[in-house]
Amino acid sequence: MNKPNKNKWTKKHLLSIEELSAEEIQIILDYAERFKEVLARPIPKVPALRGKTIVNLFSEPSTRTRSSFELAEKRLSADSLSLAASSSSFKKGESLVDTAKNIEAMRVDMIVIRHSSAGAARLVSEHVNGSVINAGDGMHEHPTQALLDIFTIKEKLGKINGLNVSIIGDIAHSRVARSNIWALKKMGANVTICGPKTLIPRQIGEMGITVTYDLASALKNADVINVLRIQLERQERGLFPSIREYIKHFGITKEVLEKHAKKNVLIMHPGPINRGIELSQDAADGEYSVILDQVTNGVAVRMAVLFLLNSIKLKSGENRIKTTAKTV
């Protein structure tokens, strides 16, 4: 039996990895391990959040993250409901704060939010009394994705400290990259990023990471390669000349891996994959691909986050979103 983590969780919201300490990340990883065991039980469900109500507010399309949160909530016996942008009042022009306050009026304990604007989760957290979880805000952060990524790395390689992790692709527009860089740096990994110059923010080297535009050198010593999705709409804006050009220089294929990477390098991808573009068929389904493990672990990691946010001791009644929130 692993020693339980005695460090205390004190955060009410999960808004970014940037504001977490290494200890806090470790607490989440330790709890996620326990919840992974729960998911392997004959009845993979525990009553820990019975009676709690959680709303998933997704103003951007999502399959993995949303279903993962929904499953995590069900596995913890919470009551949850999901609102998608296309079918909600977002479409009618209701502001985010108004939507959140209307939801809080229904006596909700937690809000999981994905939004196309950076800072959306923080904004909501300032106007409601319950806990808020950022499920992706614009190009800012996607904390639970980074947590499940490092959980998967630790599960497969036994540690994070000292590992070489290369993140390949569109770094500039990627909240996954940003959250991953924070998480990996805090846990002691050496991070290299690689992609076309136009897709790498100029100041990013200041985060204490290695920047390269040459795929071979990014792959050379990597223990883990995290391949990001290329958003095809970026090409229309002229950020890279053509898809074919991108594949030629940055596409990860079995051939490229055999030529440049370590033999047993882990291949990760946050999904959804553009097969044959950033990642080839044979690399995505290859022996060292842990892409589906990432998805499995996502549920356990999100259970850990929901459990921990719910467990903090609040002044009586404060952990329920009040119906009398102040107006803005």
4 versus 158: smaller Cβ distance to another protein: 4
Q: Is there binding between residue 53 and another protein (CB under 8 A)? A: no
Residue 142 bears catalytic tag: yes
Evaluate whether 121 touches 96 at the Cβ level (below 8 Å).
Answer: no
Q: 159: which 2 tokens?
A: 């540690």
Residue among 38, 84, 85, 243 that touches another protein (CB under 8 A): 38
Burial class of residue 151 in the structure, from the number of CB atoms within 10 Å of its CB (0-12 exposed, 13-18 middle, 19+ buried): buried
Q: Is there binding between residue 41 and another protein (CB under 8 A)? A: yes
Q: 177: which 2 tokens?
A: 């990259």
Q: Say what the alpha-carbon torsion angle 125, 128, 132, 137 is, to the nearest 10 degrees.
A: -50
Q: 58: which 2 tokens?
A: 């997704």
* Separation CA 213–CA 194 (nearest Å): 5
Residue among 47, 93, 158, 238 that touches another protein (CB under 8 A): 47
161 versus 311: smaller Cβ distance to another protein: 311
Residue 45 bears catalytic tag: no
The per-residue b/e assignment along 277-295, b for 16 or more CB within 10 angstroms, e otherwise, is bbbbeebbebebbbbebbb
Residue among 9, 151, 240, 246 that touches another protein (CB under 8 A): 9
Total residues contacting another protein by CB under 8 A comes to 26
Of the candidates 250, 247, 240, the residue with the CA atom closest to the CA atom of residue 217:
250
* Residue where the block lists tokens 């409601």: 128
Q: Which of 64, 249, 262, 320 is catalytic?
A: 64
Q: Is there binding between residue 1 and another protein (CB under 8 A)? A: yes
- Name the segment binding another protein (CB under 8 A); options: 45-53, 149-157, 173-181, 271-279: 45-53
Give the orientation angle of helix 175-186 with respect to helix 143-157, to 10 degrees: 50
Of the candidates 299, 3, 4, 294, the residue with the CA atom closest to the CA atom of residue 154:
294
129 versus 164: smaller Cβ distance to another protein: 129
* Interacting residues of 245 by C-beta distance below 8 A, sequence separation 6+: none
7 versus 264: smaller Cβ distance to another protein: 7
Q: 250: which 2 tokens?
A: 């940055």
41 versus 237: smaller Cβ distance to another protein: 41
Q: Is there binding between residue 237 and another protein (CB under 8 A)? A: no
* Residue where the block lists tokens 């502001």: 95
Q: Which of 52, 142, 175, 186 is catalytic?
A: 142
* Separation CA 150–CA 224 (nearest Å): 10
What is the pattern of x (binds another protein, CB under 8 A) and - over residues 251-290?
A: ----------------------------------------
Residue among 101, 261, 319, 321 that touches another protein (CB under 8 A): 319
Residue 114 bears catalytic tag: yes
* Residue where the block lists tokens 């036994």: 158
Q: Is there binding between residue 34 and another protein (CB under 8 A)? A: yes
Q: Is there binding between residue 5 and another protein (CB under 8 A)? A: yes
- The residue ranges that bind another protein (CB under 8 A) are 1-2, 4-6, 8-9, 30-31, 33-34, 37-38, 41-43, 45-48, 307, 310-313, 319
Which residues does the annotation mark as catalytic? 64-65, 92, 114, 142
